[in-house]
Chain A
Amino acid sequence: MSKLSFLPAHVLSEKVRKGELSFSDITTEVIAQLEAKDKSINAYISRRLEAALEEAKSLDESLAKGEDLPSLAGIPLAVKDNICTRGFLTTCASKILYNFVPPYNATVVEKIKKEKMIIIGKTNMDEFAMGSSTENSYFGTTHNPWDYQRVPGGSSGGSTAAVAAGEAIMALGSDTGGSIRQPASFCSVTGLKPTYGRVSRYGLVAFASSLDQIGPIARDVQDAYLLLKIIGGYDPCDSTSLPLPLPEEQLTGKVKGKILGLPKEYLSEGIDPKVKEIVEKAIKVWEEMGCVIKEITLPHTKYSVATYYIVAPCEASSNLARYDGVQYGFRNPEYTITGQNPVIDMMEETRDQGFGSEVKRRIMLGTFTLSHGYFEAYYLKAQKVRTLIKEDFEKAFQSCDFIVTPVSPTPPFKIGEKVSDPLKMYLSDIFTIPVNLAGLPAISIPGGFTEQNLPVGVQIIGKPLDEYGILNLGFAFQEATDFHKRTPHGN
């Protein structure tokens, strides 16, 4: 039997209700795993292990008294470190926020607390969620639990690695251009990026406001669904959150007759043959269940990277302007006075030293493309192309129910392999980025492994608000395979 910390939450909850386990058992096991593994993996930036155990014990007492507890009560959860937790360090993996303790909770954290889930700690990430490898962290790189030489993906690499390594049962991530799905693929966990507006962004430290979305990271589709239902829903603190109810239907795995669109642009050149093979095999699985496979076209796909890397840095350059050493976070105490304005000297040196190079690159890129005389050529142009990309999907969804694609063109790559060439790194986001530009829901589910036992995920993209649909299609696949149950060797 698997260790407790590798079981999904819905199984653990059931066992606790049956009296086979206590909440303390689960948390104790997760903490043990964390202490054994995290020196090598570095999934967490900060931990609250004692407090977590206290909470678990108190929940055991409540249960013993016959109190009614919410369904995910007592489940150890990891929270990405760009989601604000009141009274608890929230750094965005940046030096500039190395000591920031928010005086408020993100809406999703409030919801998690109401559900009585147990926060184990805050997870590592690419600084301000900018990156695809979790190498851009002030607190060091996170290592892929499947192969320590390799990246876990990013930017939510700490969250996916924590779940994959049994250092948490579930996790929260955020996805701006693939930051939940790509690391989920690299770590062989399930990661859902909900429809833009499904989950409140209040308390999520903004990277690119029109693209950011918080989502669940879990062992399987059922858990992802459970967590979505807890964190999602309308929030008056987020004017862009949707005033619509969340899906409630049960996962059935009945997918017969569903039409799966395969965009021809996605399985063309530039993709690792093994990744291609795994996606094609997955499609076979669904075909055997009675799904109809159809080739579709998303003709503007190739423009999505350029579009994204204009829109996201523009918004980021503005969102990150507030880190200036005035109110909170890092302030360079030894700024040189150049003679102009001491406060400006302080701000400039604080920012130059407080941000890592990828963040600075994107701030500069966004600042340049928004600056006088360039707005129309870059920002406005990109937002127009974004319309074309969105329309591609709208047209495609007229003739299919879901779109199935790879998550990343490659399996997890080696640490250091791409850091020196930002453009190359950006190009690896090609399959995840269009989804954010269009605001659609998409999921990455474990799809298989390479000969080197490296995980490869499969992406299902749904129509707006059809989280249920993509989860159910994933569920069907999961019922026919066991990739989601595999754990990294040595565990």
Chain B
Amino acid sequence: MEIEPVIGLEIHTELSTQSKMFCSCSTRFGSSPNTQVCPVCLGLPGVLPVVNEEAVRIGIKTCLALNCKINKYTRFDRKNYYYPDLPKNYQISQQYIPIGVDGWVEFEVGEEVKRVRIHNIHLEEDAGKNVHEEGKNFSLVDLNRAGIPLLEIVTYPDMHSMEEVNSFMNELRNILIYIGASNCKMEEGHLRFEANVSVRRKGDEELGPKVEMKNLNSFRSVLQALEYEIERQGARLRRGEPIYQETRLWNEEKGESFTMRFKEEAQDYRYFPEPDIPPLEIGKTWIEEIKATLPELPLKKKKRFIEEYGLSKKEAGILVEEKEISCFFEEVVKICPQPRLVVNWIMGPLMRELNERGLTIGESKLTATKLARLLEMVKENLITQTNAKYCLHEIFDSGEEPERIVEKRGWKQVTDVEEIEKMVREAIQKNPRAVEDINKGKKTAFGFLIGQVMKLSQGKANPGKVREILERELGKC
């Protein structure tokens, strides 16, 4: 029996605002416990929330990027549940009239373009963190994270394979970074997931009982948890055993999921409109204003790179994978209009340097202008490939201008025919054995002679010219 999984995702993303959703505490990551808290995010008696405008703006921008309809009138609701990391024991969220509804994301899976529909996007506040230490009879609570703005993106159950889920998550992450909604740093918990999954016989219309999976904090855990769950449900379906509607918790270390609660014990969140926050009216002008700031999204950019620069799908894909790299590419090409040369250098030496140094382009000392000027020299044969790579390395070290480095190091390539002729003659004179070997038909000896010429030039002679002249001179012998 062929099993088809039906998968939907809920994505919680921490927004890249300076301050929290409802107070002016910093959203910085990694501070000492309970140092980025105030009466409001601690939920002390008497405090009131005040909405962060920037979070709303980012919410609208995300809705636009994900093709959602924006509710002109939206409001906050209270979601009531008790948890020690939730200071008020309710979360301010949006249940009834979320900021955006009915959108979609397109992404590539292999050669195909797939579409996952977005059910809704809503704003809410994050909870704090509970710390459990092994073997202790207590837990600890840090509320620095409490109140950081979150955007929850809820998809329809439109995915049917791991590849689709993986590509969707990557595309969504990319979009969020492109539009500046979130830094999407997984290690800082900027993206967290919940998945719902059911299985059915392939071809069946009806959906199986839905299982919700919680505590998925990385792409890897989403994929592992789904794989585990599909396997589990599939096996039950094959054996004709019932599948229960339930919520399961993923245990990363054990690589297993456990029942958290069954449907009958479903949480009763007692949602009602948040009386402390007047509703929001999202005006047309504001939406238009935000629309104008939307950058080109990754999939579109990829298509354009292929068409405009003649890049391969793979090359375009790699460049677009990171917004910064793709922008850098275009800046370089603007100055040095050799897209093939530029893409090769970016994907090769440049990415190697970045990886080795653990930097992003923005953090490094390389600028688009510097790389463009270096590549201009490469193109004009003013420097050898090898020396150009050394030069790039030095730019990363010192940030110096490429011309200055080449000058200083004396890497300027010798293309002057007379000068090369002189060196070729010298090499022939000094290596009569090699010349003999060549005449006997030993091809390796030719390479040896080229090497000798290069050595005489201290690596600066243009290898093409050397070959050309050497051939000519040998012919004279």
Residues of chain A whose beta carbon lies under 8 Å from any beta carbon of chain B: 82-84, 90, 92, 97, 100, 102-104, 106, 201-206, 209-210, 236-240, 314-315, 317-318, 321-324, 326-328, 342-344, 347, 367, 370-372, 375, 379
Contacts and interface: CB of A to CB of B under 8 A. Distances in A.
Contacts of B84: 324, 326, 343
Contact of A202 (B47, B90, B268): B47
Contacts of B39: 102-104
Contact of A206 (B46, B141, B268): B46
B50 A239 contact: yes
Given A209-B276, A324-B82, A326-B84, A318 B46 contact: no
Contacts of A83: 46
Contacts of A379: 272
Contacts of B278: 239-240
5 contacts: A102-B39, A206-B46, A318-B78, A318-B272, A327-B44
Interface string B42-56: 111111111100000
A103 B48 contact: no
A103 B44 contact: yes
Contacts of B314: none
B50 A236 contact: yes
A375 B269 CA distance: 11
B285 interface: no
Interface string B242-282: 00000000000000000000000000101110011110000
Contacts of A100: 45
A209 B276 CA distance: 6
A321 B43 CA distance: 10
A210 B278 CA distance: 11
Nearest to A370: B270
Contacts of A104: 39, 44, 47
A322 B87 contact: yes
The secondary structure that dominates the B interface is loop
Residue from B43, B48, B276 having most chain A Cβ neighbours under 10 A: B48
Given A201-B48, A206-B45, A318-B78, 17 more contacts: A102-B45, A103-B44, A106-B46, A202-B47, A203-B47, A204-B46, A239-B51, A239-B277, A240-B278, A318-B270, A321-B80, A321-B82, A321-B90, A322-B87, A327-B44, A367-B270, A371-B268
A201 B49 CA distance: 11
B158 to A, nearest CB: 28
A204 B268 CA distance: 28
Interface of B: 39, 42-51, 78, 80, 82, 84, 87-90, 137, 139, 141, 268, 270-272, 275-278
Contacts of B272: 314-315, 318, 370, 375, 379
A106 B82 CA distance: 26
B45 to A, nearest CB: 4
Nearest to B85: A326
A102 B44 contact: yes
Given A239-B278, A240-B276, A202 B48 contact: yes
Contact of B137 (A92, A328, A342, A347): A342
Contact of B270 (A82, A236, A371): A371
Nearest to B137: A342
Given A240-B278, A322-B87, A205 B45 contact: yes
Instruction: Count chain A CB atoms within 10 A of each CB in B87, B88, B270, B276 and give the residue with the most.
Output: B270
A370 B82 contact: no
Contacts of A92: 45
Contacts of B50: 236-237, 239
B90 A318 contact: yes
B167 to A, nearest CB: 37
B288 to A, nearest CB: 26
Given A239-B49, A324-B89, A326-B84, A209 B44 contact: no
B276 A239 contact: yes
Contacts of B47: 104, 202-203
Interface centre among B49, B80, B275 (most CB of A within 10 A): B275
B141 A326 contact: yes
B46 A315 contact: no
A310 to B, nearest CB: 11
Nearest to A197: B278
A332 to B, nearest CB: 15
Top 5 nearest A-B pairs by Cβ distance? A321-B89, A370-B270, A209-B275, A210-B275, A205-B45
A12 to B, nearest CB: 30
A370 B269 CA distance: 9
Nearest to A367: B270
A249 B80 CA distance: 45
A347 B39 CA distance: 21
Nearest to B49: A239
Contacts of B46: 82-84, 90, 102, 106, 202-206
A104 B47 CA distance: 10
A239 B45 contact: no
Contacts of A347: 82
B35 to A, nearest CB: 14
A83 B89 CA distance: 21
A371 B268 CA distance: 6
Given A209-B275, A318-B90, A84 B45 contact: yes
Contacts of B48: 201-202, 237-240
Contacts of A343: 84, 139
A203 B275 CA distance: 16
B207 to A, nearest CB: 22
Contact of B87 (A202, A317, A327, A367): A327
Contacts of B51: 239
B268 A90 contact: no
A205 B277 CA distance: 16
Contacts of A205: 45-46
A443 B270 CA distance: 35
A323 B89 CA distance: 9
A50 B137 CA distance: 45
Nearest to B38: A104
B74 to A, nearest CB: 15
B218 to A, nearest CB: 27
Contacts of A323: 45
Contact of B44 (A201, A318, A321, A328): A328
